Amino acid sequence: MAFTHHLKVLFQHCDPAGIVFYPRYFEMANEAVEAWFADRLATPFERLHGTMGLAIPTVALQVEFVAPSRHGDRLTFRLQPDRIGRSSLALGTLAMAEDGEERMKMRSTLVLTERAGGGARPWPDELRARLNTELKEEETR
């Protein structure tokens, strides 16, 4: 089952016209990824970036802004991994309004790296197992 994260569009997310300023979608999507790692993958970013000494930068994005979101809208971000590589993760993200209208679609690639050196490294076995569970749940749907 895809991971969902709910956000209300705040004044800080909007441009002077009252619609979401497009770079703010990236911040909201990252908030959803951080919640997914904490809530579903049992690896909060403060542990990943802290005691584990790792980082998970985004290395590629493909985005489609389908319809504008406005101040006060409540959005649901739906995350679903599509592919897990040795150190990479292909992730689909969909932002929808309460009525189900699509607002933003994004495909991203994240790569697990050593925080200090920055080089890619393989997923730790425990985290890879959790990611594979997320991937397999989608494959059975």
Average confidence (pLDDT) over 80-88: 96
Q: What is the mean pLDDT of the chain?
A: 94
Cα 40 from Cα 123, distance rounded (Å): 16
Categorize the per-residue pLDDT at 137 as very low, low, confident or very high, splitting at 50, 70 and 90.
Answer: low
pLDDT tier, 141 (very low <50, low <70, confident <90, very high otherwise): very low
pLDDT at 139 over 60: no
Dump pLDDT digits (tens) for 98-115: 999 999 999 999 999 999
The pairing of beta strand 102-111 with beta strand 88-97: antiparallel
pLDDT of residue 25: 97
3-state secondary structure of 117: coil
Over 80: is that where the pLDDT of 58 sits? yes
**Residue 39 above 50 pLDDT?**
yes
Average pLDDT over residues 58-78: 97
Radius of gyration for the alpha carbons in the chain, expressed in angstroms and rounded: 16
Domains of the chain: 3-139 (3.10.129.10)
DSSP E strand boundaries for 34-100:
54-55, 58-65, 74-84, 88-97
Q: In terms of pLDDT, which residue wins out, 136 or 116? A: 116
Give the residues across from 88 on adjacent strands: 111
Tokens of 2: 């895809």
